[in-house]
Amino acid sequence: MRICSALYLHLFLLPLFYADSVYGFGSMGPVSAAFGDEGFFCAIDASGRQNVICWAKNVSSSSSNAPALSSPSPSSNAILPMAALSGGEAFMCGILANTSQAFCWSYFDPTNTDLVPPAYQFTAYSYIAAGKGHVCAVRGYYYSEKDSGSVDCWEIVRSSNRTLSSVQNTRFYDQSIANLGFRKIVGGGGFSCGEVRDGGLVCWGPSAEGLGLSEVSGRFQVLASGMGALCGILEESAEIRCWGDNSSFIEPPVGTRFISLTAGARHFCGIREDTHEVECWGSYNSSLLPKGSGFMAIASSDFTICGTREGDLVLDCWFSNASSIIPDYDPPLELSSPGLCTPQPCGAGEFAFNASTLNEAGLTSLCVRRDLQICSPCGLNCSEGYFLSSECTANSDRICTSCSLCQNSSCTSVCGLPLPRETRQKHFRQIRQLVLIVGCSVIGFLSVLMVGCLLPRLMGAPPRPEKGKRKRFGTCIKKQEFKAEQDDDLARPPLNPTPDIGLAQVFRLSELKDATNGFKEFNELGRGSYGFVYKAVLSDGRYVAVKRANAATIIHTNSREFEMELEILCKVRHPNVVNLLGYCSEMGERLLVYELMPHGTLHDHLHGGLSPLNWELRLKIAMQAARGLEYLHKESVPPIVHRDVKSSNILLDADMVARIADFGLLTPSERDLVEDMKSDVYNFGIVLLEILSGRKSYDIDFMPPDIVEWAVPLIKNGKGAAIIDRYAALPRNVEPLLKLADMAELALRVDPNQRPTVSEIASLLEQIVKDDLIL
C-alpha cells in the first residue's frame, strides 16, 4: 500500500521533477561555466562514467600535455564522477554521483583541493548553485526522489595571490529562508534565489534587494542568473521572465518557448523549444551564433558560450562579442552529456537519450547507474535548410535531415525547391587554365610530381608559337612522324620507336626543352628519386608537368625497362590518378609528360600554406584518393602497388579532384603483391589520420611526435574525437569522422591481415560523401 501511494505521488509530481534542465552561469547543469575572464568551463562526459572534463582560455585543447584542468579529484589520481555542475568565480562545484556530497575546486589550483568547508563536506545535497563568490546547496540525496530541502550556503574568497579558500560565514544566512524548502536554486553576484516547494521565487544575500523581486509566484522550468540579473522560464508558458539589472536582458524574446537558459556578463541565451537552436538577448553579436545547429545544453561565461550539440554531443563554443574573441579557444573534442541523469521516467514531450546512437563501443548508458536516464525535451521543428525526417519517440529526438537529401513531396514544401546536388563528375579533360597558387610555403622535399610556388611574373610568359600540327592525341603511338619544319639540331628519331603503347603522345625533346625554358630551375616543380619535375607550357598552350629522369635513373633502367614502364603507364587511365599524356625518349633522355595538377598537394593544403580544406572537401579528397589507389590495386593490369602513399603524393587537379601520383612501376611478384598492397593500405591509414587531425605524420609539437603512436591509442580508447582537427569548422555530424578514425585504426594494424582493403576504405568514404552524412 505504501508503495502504491508512493508511486501515485511520484507520478502525480512528475511534471515537477522532469523540468530539471537548468544550465548556465550560476545555475546547475551537465555543462557549466565559471564567472571571470578565464573562460573556465566543465562538462560531464558521455563515457557513461560521468567524469568531468574542463577547459579554459589559457589551456589549449590540442596540447596533449595540458595542465591539470582535467577531472577534479582530491588526490590527483582519483577521478570523481559528478551528477551535476555549477560554476562560480574561477571555481566549479559539483555533486558527487555516488555520495551526493558537494565538491568545489579552483581553476588556479592544479591539485583540485576541495573548497567545501569541513562542516558541509559530509552532507548530501540534491541541488547546487554557485554564485560569484559563494555557493548554496539544497539538502537531500541527488538520485532519490526529489521534493525540496533546506539550503546551506558558504563563501569562497580569493586572496591576493589568487588562492581560493572557503569561509563558512553568515552573509548568505537569512533567518527568513532557514525554514523554507527549496526545489531549485540559482546564484548570481551577491545573491541567491530559489523556487520554494509550492512555487514562487525567494531571493537572499547582500545584493538580493537590488533584483527588485517581490511576490513572484509560479513555477519555473529553468532559472539562470548573471551578476545582477535573474531570468527564468515559466513552466506553464515556457516563456522568459527577468528581474534585476535590465542592461543584461534588454527585450527578452516574447512568445518564444524555451527549454534552457544561461547568462553571461551582458547577455542571456536560451535554447528554443521548437528547433533547439540558440537564441540570445542583451548585448551580443548575432553573427557569432552557430547557425542551423541544435543544442541540448548550454552554458555561458562572461563572453564565451559553450553548448552540447544535439546530434552528436560534441561540445561547441563561440563568443558573444567579436572584440573578446580569443583565438584557438576550443573545448576538447570529447562528447559530453546532453543532460542530467535522473531516476524518474521521462515525461510527455520528452525522450530518454539512447546511448547506442553514439556508436561508441560498449556504451549502453550515459549514466553511472542502470536505473538512471537522461530525459530531454523533444524538438518540434528543424532549422532552416533541414526537414523533419522522423518524429520524436520515447527513445529518440526528432531527426532533421539536410534539404540537399530531400527526394520527394514529403519535404519539398519545407525545403523549398531542392537545390540540384552538385555532381562533380570528373571527365577526362584538358587543363585549360592554370590557377595561380600564391603564398604557398616552400616545403623542403617535394615529391616527384607536384606543384610548388611559382613566381607570378612567370605566369605572364606567352605560349610558345605553334609548331606545326603533329599532335597525335588519342591514338596509340605506332610510328614517329616528323615534319620538315622542325628544328634540326635535335630532330632525330627516338632511339627506340616504341610500338603501340596506348593513349600517349610522343614528344620531341626540342619541344619539351622549349616548353620548360630549357629545363630551367625556375620551372622546376619538385624533385624525387626519379629526377626533376618541371612545369611546362606546350606550344598549343596546354600546361603540363614534365618528369625528367636523372642520370642515375637512366643508368639503372635500360630502355627495355623504360618501354615496359611506358606500356603500363599508358594503360593507366583513371579520373583519380595523374595520367600520363606522353613521353620523350631521345638523345638518351627519358621524359614523361603528365597532366598538370594546378592545386598542388594534399600535404600542402593540410600542413603548408595552401588554402585550408573544409570537411566536405577533405572527405571527398580522401574518397577520390582511395578510389585512385583502388584502381591501381584492383583494376589496372597488371596490378600496381604504389609503394609511396603519402599526402604529398595526392595531388589536386583544376577541379580540386584528388589524383594519385608517383606510383611505383616495378611489378611485384604474385607473392609480394598482397603484402605490398597491405603496406599501401597502412600508409593510406596515415593519410587518413592527417586528414582527420590536420597534423603532420611526424610533428615534434605533439607527444608522441609520430602520428600513429599519438592517434591510435586515442581511437582504441574510444577517444577518437580527440584527434579531430579543430581548425576546420566542425561538421554538423562528427560521427562519420569517428567511423573514419576507426577505419584508419584498422588500416594501421600491425598485422597486415587485419587491415582492410583499399576498396573497403573507399566504400566507407563513398557512403559518407554520397549521403552527405556530415551535413
CA separation for the pair 555, 552 (Å, rounded): 5
Where on the phi/psi map is residue 718: left (φ > 0), alpha (ψ -120 to 50), or beta? Answer: left
In the bound state with ligand NAG, the residue whose beta carbon lies nearer, of 162 and 716, is: 162
Using alpha carbons only, what angle is made at residue 469 by residues 502 and 590, rounded to the nearest 5 degrees?
A: 50
Q: Is 751 a catalytic residue?
A: no
Question: Which candidate in 644, 655, 699, 742 is catalytic?
Answer: 644
In the bound state with ligand NAG, the residue whose beta carbon lies nearer, of 69 and 538, is: 69
Q: Is residue 535 within 8 Å of residue 596, measured between CB atoms?
A: yes
In the bound state with ligand NAG, the residue whose beta carbon lies nearer, of 82 and 581, is: 82
Sheet hosting strand 201-204, strand order edge to edge:
182-187, 192-196, 201-204
CA separation for the pair 704, 566 (Å, rounded): 42
CA within 13 Å, CB half, 481: 10
Which residue among 384, 540, 675, 701 contacts ligand NAG (CB under 6 A)?
384
DSSP string, 66-92: --S-SS--SSTT----EEEEEE-BSEE
Cβ 289 to ligand NAG shortest distance, Å: 10
CA separation for the pair 56, 548 (Å, rounded): 53
Amino acid at 578: V
Amino acid at 5: S
Cβ 504 to ligand NAG shortest distance, Å: 46
Element containing residue 683 per DSSP (H, E):
helix 670-693
Residues 6+ apart with CB under 8 A from 632: 572, 574, 577, 639, 640, 641, 642, 660, 663
Select the span of 171-179, 380-388, 436-444, 589-597 touching ligand NAG (CB under 6 A). 380-388
In the bound state with ligand NAG, the residue whose beta carbon lies nearer, of 107 and 543, is: 107
- Scan residues 95-114 and list those touching ligand NAG (CB under 6 A): 98-99
547 is in an annotated binding site: yes
Cβ 253 to ligand NAG shortest distance, Å: 14
Handedness of CA 199, 204, 208, 212 (dihedral sign): positive
In the bound state with ligand NAG, the residue whose beta carbon lies nearer, of 264 and 494, is: 264
In the bound state with ligand NAG, the residue whose beta carbon lies nearer, of 384 and 635, is: 384
In the bound state with ligand NAG, the residue whose beta carbon lies nearer, of 13 and 79, is: 79
Cβ 768 to ligand NAG shortest distance, Å: 18
Binding mask 45-84 for ligand NAG (x = CB under 6 A): -------------x-------------------x-x----
CA separation for the pair 699, 706 (Å, rounded): 7
Cβ 160 to ligand NAG shortest distance, Å: 7
Which residue among 123, 168, 354, 559 contacts ligand NAG (CB under 6 A)?
354
- Here the cell at position 430 is 584538358
Binding mask 394-433 for ligand NAG (x = CB under 6 A): -x-----------xxxx-----------------------
Which residue among 64, 356, 496, 767 contacts ligand NAG (CB under 6 A)?
356
Residue tagged 574573441 (cell numbers): 325
Which residue among 7, 119, 167, 250 contacts ligand NAG (CB under 6 A)?
250
Number of Cβ atoms within 10 Å of the Cβ of 690: 26
Cβ 311 to ligand NAG shortest distance, Å: 14
Alpha-carbon separation of residue 158 from 104, 132, 300, 633 (angstroms): 14, 11, 22, 65
Alpha-carbon separation of residue 750 from 11, 284, 691, 746 (angstroms): 56, 52, 21, 9
SS3 call for 716: helix
Binding mask 2-41 for ligand NAG (x = CB under 6 A): ------------------------------------x---
Alpha-carbon separation of residue 133 from 26, 93, 158, 190 (angstroms): 10, 12, 8, 7
In the bound state with ligand NAG, the residue whose beta carbon lies nearer, of 410 and 754, is: 410
Q: Is residue 420 within 8 Å of residue 406, measured between CB atoms?
A: no
Rounded to the nearest 10°, the torsion over CA 224, 229, 235, 240 is -110
In the bound state with ligand NAG, the residue whose beta carbon lies nearer, of 285 and 759, is: 285
Select the span of 25-33, 284-292, 431-439, 605-613 touching ligand NAG (CB under 6 A). 284-292
CA within 13 Å, CB half, 323: 2
Furthest CA-CA distance within the chain: 112
Which residue among 13, 14, 288, 564 contacts ligand NAG (CB under 6 A)?
288
- Here the cell at position 478 is 605506332
CA separation for the pair 371, 344 (Å, rounded): 9
CA separation for the pair 470, 464 (Å, rounded): 15
- Scan residues 132-161 and list those touching ligand NAG (CB under 6 A): 159, 161
Select the span of 203-211, 376-384, 620-628, 652-660 touching ligand NAG (CB under 6 A). 376-384
CA separation for the pair 101, 98 (Å, rounded): 8
Cβ 578 to ligand NAG shortest distance, Å: 38
- Here the cell at position 696 is 603532420
Cβ 154 to ligand NAG shortest distance, Å: 18
Cβ 595 to ligand NAG shortest distance, Å: 38
Cβ 380 to ligand NAG shortest distance, Å: 6
Which residue among 113, 150, 381, 412 contacts ligand NAG (CB under 6 A)?
381
| Residues binding ligand NAG: number (CB under 6 A) | 33
Phi, psi of 560 (to 5 degrees): -65, -40
Number of Cβ atoms within 10 Å of the Cβ of 142: 25
In the bound state with ligand NAG, the residue whose beta carbon lies nearer, of 80 and 723, is: 80
Q: Is 167 in the site for ligand NAG (CB under 6 A)?
A: no
- Here the cell at position 514 is 622549349
SS3 call for 246: helix
Binding mask 314-353 for ligand NAG (x = CB under 6 A): -------xxxx-----------------------------
Cβ 189 to ligand NAG shortest distance, Å: 17
- Here the cell at position 213 is 523581486
In the bound state with ligand NAG, the residue whose beta carbon lies nearer, of 46 and 448, is: 46
Q: Which residues are annotated as a binding site for ATP?
A: 547
Query: Which positions lie near ligand NAG, rule CB under 6 A?
Result: 38, 58, 78, 80, 98-99, 159, 161, 163, 246, 250, 266, 274, 283-285, 287-288, 321-324, 354, 356-357, 380-381, 384, 395, 407-410
Report the catalytic residues.
644
Q: Which residues are annotated as a binding site?
A: 547
